Chains A and B, each alone.
Chain A
Amino acid sequence: MKRFLFLTLTLLLMAGTAAFAQDKKQKKNADIQEVTFVTTIDCKNCVKKVEANLPYEKGIKDMKVNLDDRTVWIKYDASKTDKEKLAAAIVKLGYEAEEVKPEEAKK
């Protein structure tokens, strides 16, 4: 019986994994936008701090910090937040943030 319970738990875990992957796909709609900021993030601890706090700002769907480039890439829901609020959220954590304009990045 106990063994059965554990196997069920494992299967649920696996099913959950698949469900989340599915969920993510459906979220793609017109309001989802991306932005990259150049910041003053300059240490591994800073990366940890941003990764621990930024995901919980309203409207943020995904984000990545690149310590090498000092950039923060954010995917967000434009109906819930905007670039100014996102920049303010990074500033609130103690770092400066300036948007990288897409045309510059493509240079």
Chain B
Amino acid sequence: MKRFLFISLFFLTAVAATAQTFHGYVYYQKPNGGTEPLPFAQVYHMEREKLIETDANGEFTLKLSARATLIATYVGYTRDTVVVEPGTAEAKFYLSGENDLDASKVVAQQSTMPKLKSIKTEVITAAGLCKMACCALAESFENSASVTVGFSDAVTGARQIKLLGLSGTYTQMLDENRPVMRGIASPFGMSFVPGQWLESIQIAKGPSSVINGLEAITGQINMEHRKPTDETPLFVQVYGSSDAMFEANIASAIQFNEKWSMINMAHVGGTASKMDHNKDGFRDEPADLNLNFTSRWLYYAPSGMQIRFGGRFLYDDRLGGQMNATKDNTFNLQNKIWGSNIKNRGIDGYFKIGVPLAEDNHANIALVTDFNHHDFNAFFGNRLFDARQNSAFANLIYQNEINETHKIEFGATWQFDDLTQGYGYDYHSLFPQLEYLSDPWLDFSRKEHAISGFGEYTLTLEDKFTFVGGVNLQYSTLHGWLFAPRANVRWAPADWVTLRALGGRGYRTANIFTDNLGIFSTGKYFSISDDLNLLEDAWTWGGNVTFYLPFGAEDTETYLSFDYFHNNFNKQVIVDPEIAGPVICFYNLDGKSYTNTYQVDFSVNPLERFNITATFRYTDAKVTLQNQGLVERPMTSRYKGVLNMQYATAMNKWTFDFTAQLNGPMRLPKYAAEAWSMETSPVYPMLYAQITRKFKGIDVYIGAENILGYRQHHAIINADNPFGPTGQYYGYGEGGSHDMTLDPLGVFDASNVWGPLMGPKFYLGLRYTLWK
């Protein structure tokens, strides 16, 4: 959006008494400073939704009884907006030629890299979201090299993203700038947001703003949902694929009057089949049923006050493991069947209010509150995990845009987390003949209150320079005082180049089980260090240079961009499956843990409606592990390349998409490297294609994923003996004396997934939109 000039010029004449008729004069402002009247320009009267045209002398008249917002426009010129109070006799409008200012034109297709943002933000728009089948948010990143998506294990279907080479748990997820998917809601969070509910996704690398708390370490991903003000009373989508995955979405936005509007969205989806492509006896994907509902309301008062509130309900029940596993685990265990059933239930409510403190809204105050309840109940073989989380959040923000140059924001946040969680074993069902066995249960519940105060200052020097600096000071009942400074700078010395730099500190409380869900899909013991500190603390800094190149189709942007980010942990919880024998150890980082990420992006439209985007990322991630010293972080891809081509016919009636990915190698943990006789996972390509045809109100799309049919054939170590030998080792429980001499190669482990488990997939989908 172009800079919105909000000039209030009042030319009160001496004879104000007769001021019921208003005179307007529209001028062309020449680059040399002179002016000339602009005949036949369009003036839009916003309150009455009327168009007025200036006469041959560039003048117009108007009967004025109330305050009026008048916008003068002329094709090829800038706009000028004047707010006129009743009683005003005349006003002047100055338009300059578009080319004089060389202002960037806003084109209907939004650029994926907004020029003016001080933090380089990658935007996936609704059009971008439609490029892929994307059933859920987790699948919306196939075109992005910044974000890598993988499975946490070969059993649960939990998708994990990686940003800057680090687990998605270090990325703060925001729903319209409200933190979401925290704690135990995170491992499946991305799979539970239906892609069709979203309007756009913004990915910002680095710690960015202090206003939303301290948890953004590698970056922030913000989701914008469909809006209550969308003029679409009905939207329906259905999707089905060759691997028996299906989904249906329905959304309805209703505007009751000028003040009240709402949107309701519902989703049902899942996977119906049992498939075992690699014949290891385990399902490639869990059978799954997902239900999701949200209701979002907006109240917009004439004073400019806004209230937004809503709620969300989610239910998900998935069954994975061996082909004949059931949801009755007693039956499974008595028959020595390894099964996994995970139930997620969540309910969430939010209330936001924004009150302008000045007529032009240059100062305002906002309150954002949120309550979230989540239940997570699961079994993995004879291991059980149950968790319940209640979280409350309140954020009060005062914002004052003092003038076009200075802006300040400050406020306070309260965050409360009450987490009840623990894990245990069901030995009774597995060995019913041994009646004296006790079933151990280990509790890891915690409560945390965190109160913080923050302030942020923004300096804007026209379109050339922006500096944002902020500090956040937090007191946490678990960790004491935490201090995080953050800053970013954007400088555009010329039209063709933009430079950005940013840096800052982030903190989070680790959730050792749900952050590392893959650990449950193993037969390994857990060994948790007694002095484990759950606080994770990291500095991230980086920079970007973007060149805008002078070729490509008209009204499109051609750019070449380079990124570098460095992330360095002071404190981190290390989850180490390589330490010794059949054990996964949790301990505090003792030494270095860092990542360096380099990325190049290039985008061009050689022809109108034909876009080519090429991206390449290289990551160097290192971590200090006990017994090994500083090593390459396991299961982190060294590079990823993405090439996307999209061509659309006039008015997007047909759209053709093609995406090719090259996925780089990952270092395998030592035991997996030994089991599969390779140090690193192989490099593999993935191809995607989709055709969309638009009819009036209806879009039909067909596509294919993983066209080359590339698969990871062996994803589970010791798949034919999931309960042995550690499963036989009963009676002591955690903390007891484990048999450390056991060879890890003989222990069940499904936590090393580096590639697709499913072969090629065809899909067909339909979207119907009814417009108001």
Q: Whose C-beta in chain B lies nearest to the C-beta of A68?
A: B106
A66 within 8 A of B: yes
CB contacts (< 8 Å) of B651 on chain A: these are: 51, 55, 60, 62-63
CB contacts (< 8 Å) of B182 on chain A: these are: none
B: number of interface residues (CB 8 Å): 46
A98 to chain B, nearest CB (A): 6
Q: How large is the interface on A (under 10, 10 to 19, 20 to 34, 35 or more residues)?
A: 35 or more
CB contacts (< 8 Å) of A62 on chain B: these are: 650-651
Cα-based distance from A53 to B704 in the complex (angstroms) = 28
Checking B75, B654, B687 against A71 with a beta-carbon cut-off of 8 angstroms, the contacting residue is: B75
CB contacts (< 8 Å) of A36 on chain B: these are: 75
A79 within 8 A of B: no
Query: 1/0 per position for B698-722, CB-CB distance to A under 8 A?
Result: 0000001001110000000000000
CB contacts (< 8 Å) of A98 on chain B: these are: 42, 51, 53
CB contacts (< 8 Å) of A53 on chain B: these are: 696, 771
CB <8 Å contact, B106 and A67: yes
B231 within 8 A of A: yes
CB <8 Å contact, B649 and A20: yes
CB contacts (< 8 Å) of B689 on chain A: these are: 9-10, 13
Cα-based distance from A47 to B229 in the complex (angstroms) = 13
CB <8 Å contact, A6 and B709: yes
CB <8 Å contact, B42 and A38: yes
Query: 1/0 per position for B158-175, CB-CB distance to A under 8 A?
Result: 000000000000000000
Query: 1/0 per position for A42-80, CB-CB distance to B under 8 A?
Result: 100101010111011000111111111111000100000
B726 within 8 A of A: no
B538 to chain A, nearest CB (A): 36
Query: 1/0 per position for B635-666, CB-CB distance to A under 8 A?
Result: 00000000000010111111010100000000
A29 within 8 A of B: no
Q: Whose C-beta in chain B lies nearest to the C-beta of A7?
A: B707
Q: Whose C-beta in chain B lies nearest to the C-beta of A38?
A: B42
Cα-based distance from A56 to B769 in the complex (angstroms) = 14
Cα-based distance from A66 to B79 in the complex (angstroms) = 13
A35 within 8 A of B: no
- Mostly helix, strand, loop or mixed at chain B's interface? loop
Cα-based distance from A70 to B46 in the complex (angstroms) = 13
CB <8 Å contact, A70 and B73: yes
Checking B46, B108, B653, B708 against A55 with a beta-carbon cut-off of 8 angstroms, the contacting residue is: B653
CB contacts (< 8 Å) of A20 on chain B: these are: 647, 649, 654
A100 to chain B, nearest CB (A): 5
CB contacts (< 8 Å) of A28 on chain B: these are: none
Cα-based distance from A70 to B75 in the complex (angstroms) = 9
CB <8 Å contact, A68 and B49: no
Query: 1/0 per position for B15-59, CB-CB distance to A under 8 A?
Result: 000000000000000000000000010101010011101000000
CB <8 Å contact, A3 and B760: yes
Q: Whose C-beta in chain A lies nearest to the C-beta of B649?
A: A20
Checking A16, A45, A64 against B230 with a beta-carbon cut-off of 8 angstroms, the contacting residue is: A45
Assuming the contacts A3-B760, A104-B40, asked whether A16 and B656 have C-beta atoms less than 8 A apart, the reply is yes
CB contacts (< 8 Å) of A55 on chain B: these are: 651-653, 694
Cα-based distance from A56 to B695 in the complex (angstroms) = 8
Cα-based distance from A103 to B726 in the complex (angstroms) = 85
Cα-based distance from A65 to B109 in the complex (angstroms) = 10
Q: Whose C-beta in chain B lies nearest to the C-beta of A57?
A: B696
A26 within 8 A of B: no
Assuming the contacts A13-B689, A52-B771, A66-B105, asked whether A100 and B75 have C-beta atoms less than 8 A apart, the reply is yes
Q: Whose C-beta in chain A lies nearest to the C-beta of B77?
A: A69
CB <8 Å contact, B709 and A2: yes
CB <8 Å contact, A68 and B75: no
Cα-based distance from A21 to B769 in the complex (angstroms) = 27
B759 within 8 A of A: yes
A33 within 8 A of B: no
B691 within 8 A of A: yes
CB contacts (< 8 Å) of B691 on chain A: these are: 13, 16
B660 to chain A, nearest CB (A): 10
A30 within 8 A of B: no
Q: Whose C-beta in chain B lies nearest to the C-beta of A106?
A: B76
CB <8 Å contact, B108 and A47: yes
Q: Whose C-beta in chain A lies nearest to the C-beta of B688?
A: A10
A96 within 8 A of B: yes
B2 within 8 A of A: yes
Could you pull out 16 A-B pairs where Cβ atoms are within 8 angstroms?
A6-B704, A6-B707, A6-B709, A6-B760, A10-B689, A16-B656, A17-B647, A36-B75, A38-B51, A47-B108, A49-B772, A53-B696, A55-B694, A65-B108, A66-B107, A93-B771
Residues in A lying within 8 Å of B, measured CB to CB: 2-3, 6-7, 9-10, 13-14, 16-17, 20-21, 24, 36, 38, 40, 42, 45, 47, 49, 51-53, 55-56, 60-71, 75, 93, 96, 98, 100-101, 104-105
Residues in B lying within 8 Å of A, measured CB to CB: 2, 40, 42, 44, 46, 49-51, 53, 73, 75-76, 79, 105-108, 227, 229-231, 647, 649-654, 656, 658, 687, 689, 691, 694-697, 704, 707-709, 759-760, 769, 771-772
Q: Which 4 A-B pairs have the closest CB atoms?
A: A56-B696, A55-B651, A62-B650, A6-B707
Known pairs A17-B656, A62-B650, A70-B44 / 12 extra A-B pairs, C-beta < 8 Å: A3-B707, A7-B707, A9-B707, A16-B691, A20-B647, A21-B647, A49-B771, A49-B772, A51-B652, A56-B696, A66-B107, A70-B42
